[in-house]
Amino acid sequence: MLVDASLRPRQAAADPYDELTAREREVLVLLAQGLTAAAMGERLFISPRTVEHHRAAILRKLGLRQHSDAIKYAIRRGLIDIDN
């Protein structure tokens, strides 16, 4: 019997970072660099509201509570260079 894959429970990725889209990864790096939603939007050619949607998805997918947790995550992950 074949089972529709969409009906099976989704298994957690070994690394939650793998669940992020390419755009969410871009937003995570810019967030860790201290850019505002407006500045990120200008750089990525999207609205600040869309940036906020990406930021919310990042927090949800990584199991984080606030954007400062995302900054810490990016630093620990080596996504930004804190020496410069």
Is the model's pLDDT at 72 over the cut of 70? yes
Domain map (residue ranges) of the chain? 17-77
The single-letter DSSP state of residue 9 is P
Q: Tell which residue, 83, 82, 46, has the closest CA to residue 32.
A: 82
Q: Is the CATH number of domain 17-77 1.10.10.10?
A: yes
Cα–Cα distance for residue pair 54/19, rounded to 1 Å: 13
Between 82 and 40, whose confidence is greater?
Answer: 40
The single-letter DSSP state of residue 29 is H
Percent of the chain with pLDDT over 70: 83
Query: Which pTM was predicted?
Result: 0.81
Is the model's pLDDT at 83 over the cut of 90? no
